Amino acid sequence: MDARKWGGPVSLGSRPRAGTEADMALEARVREVVVSGPSGPGALIPLLQLVQEKVGHLPRVSLSLISEKLGLPESRIYGVATFYAQFHMKPRGKYVVRVCQGTACHVRGGKTILEAVEEQLGVKPGDTTPDLLFTLERVACLGACGLAPTMIINDDTYGRLTPVKAQKILASLAEGGTGTTAAS
């Protein structure tokens, strides 16, 4: 077997690709993570997970660096990174806001909650606020139908929401609060 193909000792070089200072700093950070990460057969997903854990998302440059390290086509790495919901190609916010649009929440006004959150954050589902504070997502069911309408922010569940209550929770978090006072 070609050792390089499965992550043999590849230097990955040190010459940054063209870009802004921020791009070069990001590439250097990703390079460090990729070089220190696993190699060999089966390393692709653990390496993607490691980059995401350390960098917060999978920048485009991470795909080419992983391609170099593992000797795999970049197209294959892109395919894996976009297939699994756990991987994110774009930066994510400090708070990931998941607003439920499942049946129980829908009949109890879930759509108005989503609209209120969109208005408050100024982004649509799938997007992140420019300050990287919030990422908005819509989900089918959060498994808390008895509390409908609901949303989850990171690991905290907020139930029996109204549009105003949802906006107060977000405002509290944006101001550095916990969001819990606003939820009560």
Binding site for ligand FES (CB under 6 A): 100, 102-105, 141-145, 148, 150
At CA 106, angle to CA 104 and CA 111, rounded to 5? 150
Nearer to ligand FES, 105 or 170 (CB): 105
Residues making up the chain, counted from first to last: 184
Tell me the two tokens of residue 11.
């230097």
- Per the listing, tokens 């919030």 go with 134
Nearer to ligand FES, 140 or 171 (CB): 140
Instruction: Provide the minimum distance between the beta carbon of 3 and ligand FES in the complex, in angstroms, as a whole number.
Output: 50
Which residue, judged by CB position, is nearest to ligand FES in the bound state? 102
Instruction: Provide the minimum distance between the beta carbon of 145 and ligand FES in the complex, in angstroms, as a whole number.
Output: 4
Give dist(CA 165, CA 116) in Å, integer. Answer: 10
Instruction: Provide the minimum distance between the beta carbon of 147 and ligand FES in the complex, in angstroms, as a whole number.
Output: 7
Nearer to ligand FES, 80 or 147 (CB): 147
Q: What is the identity of the amino acid at 108?
A: R
Instruction: Provide the minimum distance between the beta carbon of 121 and ligand FES in the complex, in angstroms, as a whole number.
Output: 20
Nearer to ligand FES, 123 or 145 (CB): 145
Nearer to ligand FES, 61 or 152 (CB): 152
Phi-psi region of 48 (alpha: psi -120 to 50; beta: other; left: phi over 0): alpha
Of 102, 97, 94, 112, residue with least CA distance to 142: 102
CB-based contacts of 15, cutoff 8 Å, min separation 6: none
Instruction: Provide the minimum distance between the beta carbon of 179 and ligand FES in the complex, in angstroms, as a whole number.
Output: 18
At CA 9, angle to CA 40 and CA 13, rounded to 5? 120
